[in-house]
Structure 1
């Protein structure tokens, strides 16, 4: 049983529920560790059509207070005491390494998620419309750009967990699997996962994709088999944006991971990795 969820969002960004409500859901679902990993504010120029930057910036002081209060007062849940970890999801942004590095040091975080949501200045997961007009070749150019950025994010060694590794498939899953079947693509993924292992990071396995248009777990089986080959640590996540999504489809995640030989998952506290059975 997976008892740790390390990727969650709240009403302080574009989620629905308060940190307290998310924690109550974690208690009810029997989690023993809940990681709060709200988005870090992005600089202007890296913008979504449905932007939440100003709300997030205003909310962060209250968010930090609320999470640290929950962390200091753990409660008994369905399977035992559920501890809180204070993390944050950081965007890897082209040309803004210094900005991101400063954000990583802004608070005393337990762990940091590294994510790529932007190719250049384009927030590629902001809607399906743009993707609908791309040919296979145009999709593949975006996949290559994404994994170039993803490996650069890893090599920076600023983060502990690589979040939703193949998020880029969200609106083009059929084209993505065509690309994945190519030998050059396998080499690209293998090299990125090798860098991930060498950086002392873990790879996130996330149920969020099951709720998205791609309708499949992040990451795809190729990543899982290569990660197993490399003995890469993995972490589990729902990427919950409301209390109902906490620990979403974790039975399925556990079965998926076990199918590739995984029996432990990584959690981080003050940047130090611990491997737990599931």
Structure 2
């Protein structure tokens, strides 16, 4: 099976990644991937939670990014197509900053992601204190809806139910997207009305006791039933070994959910590719 393009990966340009861009490219080539897109992190106004995460940690060095991208995409042009992307962290108070940033560079592809909820990061245990898991997940989905209502200069929504990766005591809570069907349906209808797609993100498949990507197959299938067509595949790789992570399994999930192909982007214009 020909693997889909990997449209969600990071390199040393992202504040939480130390893998060199060239390592990510070489790993992708070795796995037979024909196209990738770097989507380096931009998260303005990220809170200073820990001393090892300094202010501005998730604001990329764009001159360095552009230089690396230009040099390496040219160096490997006969072996792989490499696109220039960004993963924008969405928060209501930085809508204008995000708009200005996206319009300042010739990106091929933009992911809009929710990494913070009410200016806090669900990756850290303190985020979950003081409310139930159910209420916390609903808060996250409600915040997602608010963000995509006020900002739409992106191509796909990143890892829609990303927050479930970090639920404390996962063995004691059985996540079901059906419990949040009302708010998830509103999110999907909003995306479809704005012509936006979904990042079929396989990173969660790496986690113990997880057999679902982000978003969950229930959400992916509902997106298709509601009229959504645009999906991209993303490993969310932060180390070279994880490029195209579980893409064979993700393709099987997408097929089962009614999709017969995926999209790539160039200068923000999308192209459909059937599964082969």
Determine the C-alpha separation between the residues in 1 that align with 2:258 and 2:49.
38
Aligned partner of 2:42 in structure 1 is: 40
* Structure 1 runs not aligned, ≥5 long: none
Query: In the TM superposition, what is the alpha-carbon distance from 1:56 to its structure 2 partner?
Result: 5.3
2:161 to 166, 175, 178: 166
TM-score by length of 2: 0.87
Determine the C-alpha separation between the residues in 2 that align with 1:120 and 1:47.
14
1:91 to 84, 89, 92: 89
Aligned partner of 1:192 in structure 2 is: 187
Determine the C-alpha separation between the residues in 1 that align with 2:54 and 2:87.
15
Given that residues 165 and 219 in structure 1 are in contact (C-alpha distance below 8 angstroms), is that contact kept between their aligned partners in structure 2?
yes
Residue 3 in 1 paired to residue 1 in 2?
no
Given that residues 194 and 230 in structure 1 are in contact (C-alpha distance below 8 angstroms), is that contact kept between their aligned partners in structure 2?
yes
**Structure 1 residues 55-66: aligned runs within 5 Å:** 57=59, 59-66=61-68
Given that residues 156 and 198 in structure 2 are in contact (C-alpha distance below 8 angstroms), is that contact kept between their aligned partners in structure 1?
yes
Query: In the TM superposition, what is the alpha-carbon distance from 1:28 to its structure 2 partner?
Result: 0.9
Change (3 A) 1:208 1:54: same
TM-score by length of 1: 0.87
How many residue pairs end up in the alignment? Answer: 266
Deviations 1:159-204 (A, max 9, x none): 00111110111122564625x333xx21211111111111111101
Determine the C-alpha separation between the residues in 2 that align with 1:175 and 1:190.
22
Determine the C-alpha separation between the residues in 1 that align with 2:39 and 2:135.
30
Aligned partner of 2:216 in structure 1 is: 220
Residue 51 in 1 paired to residue 53 in 2?
yes
Determine the C-alpha separation between the residues in 1 that align with 2:157 and 2:188.
10
Structure 1 runs (4+) greater than 6 angstroms displaced: none
Determine the C-alpha separation between the residues in 1 that align with 2:195 and 2:54.
32
Aligned partner of 2:233 in structure 1 is: 236
Determine the C-alpha separation between the residues in 1 that align with 2:186 and 2:271.
24
Query: In the TM superposition, what is the alpha-carbon distance from 1:16 to its structure 2 partner?
Result: 2.5
2:73 to 64, 71, 83: 71
Change (3 A) 1:120 1:237: same
Determine the C-alpha separation between the residues in 2 that align with 1:237 and 1:165.
12
Aligned partner of 1:275 in structure 2 is: 272
Given that residues 44 and 94 in structure 2 are in contact (C-alpha distance below 8 angstroms), is that contact kept between their aligned partners in structure 1?
no
